Amino acid sequence: MSEFNVQQREHGEISVLDLKGYLDAHTAPKLEDAFQDLLAAARFNIIVNCRDLSYISSAGLGVFMAFIEEVRKNEGDIKLTNMTPKVFNVFDLLGFPLLYDITNEEAEAIRKFTEKRK
Amino acid sequence: MRARSLNIESRTDRLVDAREFVSAAAQELGFGDDDIGKIALAVDEACTNVIKHAYHFDGQQYLTITVEAGKNSIEIRITDSGERFDPRELPAPDMKEYLKKFRKGGLGVYLMKKLMDEVEYQLLPGKKNEVRLVKYLDTRHS
């Protein structure tokens, strides 16, 4: 079985999802559920911390694509942080850095959300 | 390395087995970690497409992954007996436009072509679909 976990943390008005393990077509629904819960709770400032994400396939990338539009319509964003080079390379091959805010550190993403509010 | 095959049920929980199967073979053939990751991802995408588009998530069906050593390369064939799925009939996406429209799914074929040196589809006798993936050890080909 591929192992994958999503943990949620709150940082004021920002919600952080910590991803761990292998994100493929089998485990992507777990991430979908996490995003659905956030949107249902009107939490639109979302950081996805990929520090412990070992693997991602297009099924995982599809989850980000499925939610970004609604999140941005609500003046929020999905910011991705702390990717390993291997995971970043997959995002990069598909041109995601054009569309998604990807930062090295979570603190940088938090700062961007905080500055936007001022 | 002699050709070897893995039969798996058409279920997404078997993707991990497909990845591990081809990773072990690629390692045996001398591929580095980066390339092993690319090969495993391409095979995951190919199998996911079969599960979704050929078998429509019918977990009673099977697909076969065969790995063999080519001349300075790894050759992987994924066969199924499901509905015909020929990605060549899909227009190649303009990724910038594609992303702008926030389309979900359909990225797998595009990714496979980026990850592998050769991606070919063919219809085999007995109404079988086959995807053939090749990656060369020699970096001149990549």
pLDDT at residue A96 above 60?
Answer: yes
> Which CATH number applies to A4-109?
3.30.750.24
Instruction: Report the candidate in A115, A90, A109, A93 with the shortest Cα–Cα distance to residue A48.
Output: A109
Size of interface A-B (CB pairs under 8 A): 70
Instruction: Report the candidate in A66, A57, A48 with the shortest Cα–Cα distance to residue A23.
Output: A57
Residue whose tokens read 């639109």: A44
Give residue limits of the domains in chain A.
4-109
Domains and CATH numbers, chain B: 4-141 (3.30.565.10)
Write the pLDDT tens digit of every residue in B7-45: 999 999 999 999 999 999 999 999 999 999 999 999 999
Provide the 3-class DSSP secondary structure of residue B9.
strand
Write the pLDDT tens digit of every residue in B81-120: 998 876 666 666 666 666 655 555 568 888 999 999 999 9
Closest-approach residue (CA) in chain A for B14: A1
* A96 vs B: CB within 8 A: yes
Nearest to B15 among A26, A62, A86 (CB): A26
- Looking at residue B96, what is its pLDDT? 64
**Sign of torsion over alpha carbons A32, B12, B80, B1:** positive
Q: Under a CB-based contact definition with an 8 Å cutoff, are residues B106 and B53 in contact?
A: no
Write the pLDDT tens digit of every residue in A19-64: 999 999 999 999 999 999 999 999 999 999 999 999 999 999 999 9
Closest-approach residue (CA) in chain B for A100: B99
